[in-house]
Amino acid sequence: MGKTYQRIDGRLRAFIEAQPMFFTATAPLSGDGTVNLSPKGLRGSFAVLDEHTIAYLDFAGSNAETIAHLRENSRITLMWCAFSGPPSIVRVHGHGEPVFRDDPRWAELRRHFPDIDATRHGLRAIIVVRAGLIRDTCGYGVPLMTYDADRDLHGRRFAREDDASLSAYFAGKEHVATSIDGLPGLPLPLPPNPAT
């Protein structure tokens, strides 16, 4: 019932680009480390860069586990589920890296997200993932659910922050600069947010 793909294109690309949310999973190398699973939403914050490369915007939050795990070992899995229409689940297993604001690639990567206002949401990194294994499965067990809209709470909360106050916010959170397992997380203070 499942199929392996060589690239992200055609029907597969259309499917993942149409989903209003996806999930990321990462883990540290330590056998007793904390596995992290995160939901990601907000239309326009995800992009297929080419047939083997995906990127998404990493926004302000009270943890930075994905960033910490990627900095340590780069392993990541992304998953999309069809909550409406024909049942399907797509997983991209690969290696990723966080690209921070002071990286020379920042401006070019930001161009892939034209609908996201750079002054909102506390944008702190762009996660770039290179696909290694691309698979789909039936998704028969995924419930049917209706997408109504993105919540505006995150944007309203972080739109009132500037770079200095956002860095102070992150510094006050226990697991942003350092992960739950003690790995280096988000480098602080944040570099200025380039106007892109």
pLDDT tens digits along 96-126: 999 999 999 999 999 999 999 877 899 999 9
Mean pLDDT of 2-20: 95
Answering whether pTM is above 0.85, one says: yes
**What pLDDT sits at residue 156?**
92
- Give the mean model confidence (pLDDT) for residues 19-37: 97
At residue 2, the pLDDT reads 83
pLDDT band at 194 (very low <50, low <70, confident <90, very high): confident
pLDDT band at 1 (very low <50, low <70, confident <90, very high): low
State pLDDT tens for residues 133-183.
999 999 999 999 999 999 999 999 999 999 999 999 999 999 999 999 999
pLDDT in tens, 47-80: 999 999 999 999 998 899 999 999 999 999 999 9
How big is the CA angle at 132 (ends 131 and 134), to the nearest 5 degrees? 75
DSSP 50-111: ETTEEEEEE---SB-HHHHHHHHH-EEEEEEE-SSSS--EEEEEEEEEEEETTSTTHHHHHT
User: Residue 195: what pLDDT?
Assistant: 58
pLDDT for residue 129 is more than 70 = yes
Task: Tell me the two tokens of residue 160.
Answer: 């009132």
Euclidean distance between CA atoms 19 and 41, whole angstroms: 9
pLDDT for position 120: 85
Q: Can you give the pLDDT at residue 196?
A: 45
As a whole number, the mean pLDDT across the chain is 94
